[in-house]
Amino acid sequence: MALSATVMKSLKHPARLVPIAFLVVIALGTLLLMLPVARAGAGSAPLLTALFTATSAVCVTGLVVQDMATYWSPAGHAVILALVQIGGFGIMSGATLLSLLVTRRLRLSTRLIAQSETRGLALGDVVTVLKLVLGVTIAVEAMLAATLTLRLRFGHGEPWADALWNGAFQAVSAFTNAGIASYSEGMVRFVADPVVLVPIMLGVIVGGIGMPVLHDLRQQPRNPGRWSLHTKITLLGTAVLLPAGMLATLLFEWNNHGTLGALDAPGRVLNALFHSVMARSGGFNTVDLGQMRTETLSITYGLMLIGGGSASTAGGIKVGTFIILILIIWAEVRGEPDSVAFGRRVARDAQRQAVTIALMAVGMVCTGTLLLLSLSGLPLRDAVFETISAFATVGLSTGVTPTLPPAAQVLIIVLMFVGRVGTITVAAALALRGRQNPFRYPEERPIVG
């Protein structure tokens, strides 16, 4: 009885509950995808193929080992879309609720200070938060689906049934940052169609910016001074990274006829921006990434690892973490005792958490890359790209995913899962474990640098 009580108490811990919930959904999705009705061809999907696809869908990553359009039947597509929707909604609500649980664990005085200074999500009941997440999800996906359906019907001549299904599939995949397309070639067929690409970009940005930011923007749309520090640094990071990624892509790919070089000038700008947005966790592509120059892929490595906003559908270490790291470095270079942004000090525990998460992510990427190199024999640039894309749950690929041997596919599955639930649960676990010791050891300064 005591052991059972201990196990139940352990499972109630939010930092353990989230990964367990994801594992259950992945297992159920795998079983459904292994049913003969889920496959377009004869027989059932192999266990590894079903597990890889289910993990990619639930973790809203987008990497696939089989052609989505031809390998899976309509029933299989429906299962994948449901897994993507569940994963996306669960991630947003799970991350948001964990942040509230963490805040509730702090002392009352600290909670009141945090609430008055950040003006973020209220400490109110769980149902209110879930309604907010659900409302945003339905509203954005419905608008995206309607726009894409009309464009596919009247701009590309798809029958109403196909246009409605493809529009809805791409809408859900965009908002959840899954990057799984219902077309064999992804978004390549729409490389010259801004009416399709722009809404998809907007859906990815809104889904990847984070629920706390959307809450602030809804509450105070015309009063930036009352936005929380989290909202300000997330929007700042997004406003800098998106055009920076676009300009870097244009610089290195302008004359590359394997990617942007075959397009006219407006098309190059549009698709460079599309790549910059998708590298932040969107996962769609309109050009062959395998033809990109190494310089562009190197820039993409960084964008993928940074990812989107906290408590969002995006992956990566999160843009807020990245900005906090820059603030720490800037304060140290200037010899200042505090990291400051927008007239606010960044809390010391937030700084420690940012450093910890970033170093753990780098460690995972390095370890994953070494293992992938040994298991697959891929060139270094492809192995690094695949590892970061899986861990940051981006879903972009240079085209090597279907060629991976079984052991390498298992590694990618692990990276997708750890990358999706790891940064959320590690951040929560660090905050939940925070405590004050009744004593302090004597201080000594080691040599640094």
pLDDT at 153 over 70: yes
* Residue pair 383/415 in contact by the 8 Å Cβ criterion: no
**pLDDT value at residue 314:** 86
Average pLDDT over residues 217-229: 86
Exposed e or buried b per residue across 47-86, where buried means at least 16 C-beta atoms within 10 angstroms of its C-beta: eebbbbbbbbbbbbbbbbbbebeebbbebbbebbbbbbbb
pLDDT in tens, 167-197: 999 999 999 999 999 998 889 999 999 999 9
- Whole-number pLDDT of residue 184: 87
pTM: 0.89
The band of 157, judged by pLDDT with boundaries at 50, 70 and 90, is very high
Render the burial of 140-151: b for 16+ CB within 10 Å, e for the rest. bbebbbebbbeb
- Chain-centre distance of CA 396, in angstroms? 12
- Tell me how far apart the alpha carbons of residues 133 and 135 are, in angstroms, rounded to a whole number: 6
In the block, residue with structure tokens 């300009």: 247
Q: What is the pLDDT of residues 237-294, one digit of tens each?
A: 999 999 999 999 999 999 999 999 999 999 999 999 999 999 988 999 999 999 999 9
Average pLDDT over residues 58-77: 94
DSSP state of 119: -
Share of the chain above pLDDT 70, in %: 84
| pLDDT tens, residue by residue, 383-402 | 999 999 999 999 999 999 99
What the block records as the tokens of 387 is 């590892």
Instruction: Tell me the DSSP string of 23-55.
Output: HHHHHHHHHHHTSGGGBSSSS---HHHHHHHHH
Q: For the chain, how are helix, strand and coil distributed in percent, rounded to 5?
A: 70, 0, 30
80-111 tens-digit pLDDT = 999 999 988 776 666 666 665 565 554 544 44
Length of the chain: 449
- Dihedral sign from CA coordinates of 264, 265, 268, 274: negative
Dihedral of alpha carbons 76, 81, 84, 90, sign: negative
Token pair 């990619």: residue = 56
DSSP-derived secondary structure for 384-401: HHHHHHHHTT----SS-G
If you average pLDDT over residues 306-324, what whole number do you get?
90
Tokens 């892509």: give the residue: 249
Q: How confident is the model at residue 115 (pLDDT cuts 50, 70, 90)?
A: very low
Say how far apart CA 435 and CA 449 lie, in whole Å. Answer: 30
Among candidates 254, 268, 205, 259, which has minimal Cα distance to 234?
205
Write out the DSSP string of 420-448. HHHHHHHHHHHHHT----S--PPP-----
* Mean pLDDT rounded to a whole number for the chain: 86
Banded pLDDT at 7 (limits 50, 70, 90)? very low
Rounded-to-integer distance, Cα 52 and Cα 48, Å: 6
Query: What distances in angstroms separate CA 266 from CA 154, 262, 391, one per listed residue?
Result: 23, 12, 33
* Neighbour-count burial for 396-431, b at 16+ CB within 10 Å, e otherwise: bbbebbeebeeebbebbbbbbbbbbbbbbbbbbbbb
Contact (CB, 8 A) for 207 and 312 = yes
Per-residue pLDDT of 320-336, as tens digits, reads 999 999 999 999 999 89
pLDDT, tens digit, for every residue of 410-442? Answer: 999 999 998 888 755 655 555 555 556 677 788
Question: Domain coordinates of the chain in residue numbers?
Answer: 14-432
Per-residue pLDDT reduced to its tens digit, 17-43: 778 888 899 999 999 999 999 999 889
pLDDT beyond 90 at 76: yes
Strands 344-345 and 340-341: antiparallel
**Lookup result for tokens 């995006």:** 314
For position 89, what pLDDT does the model report? 78
d(CA 277, CA 245): 8
Cα atoms in the Cβ-side hemisphere of radius 13 Å centred on 344: 20
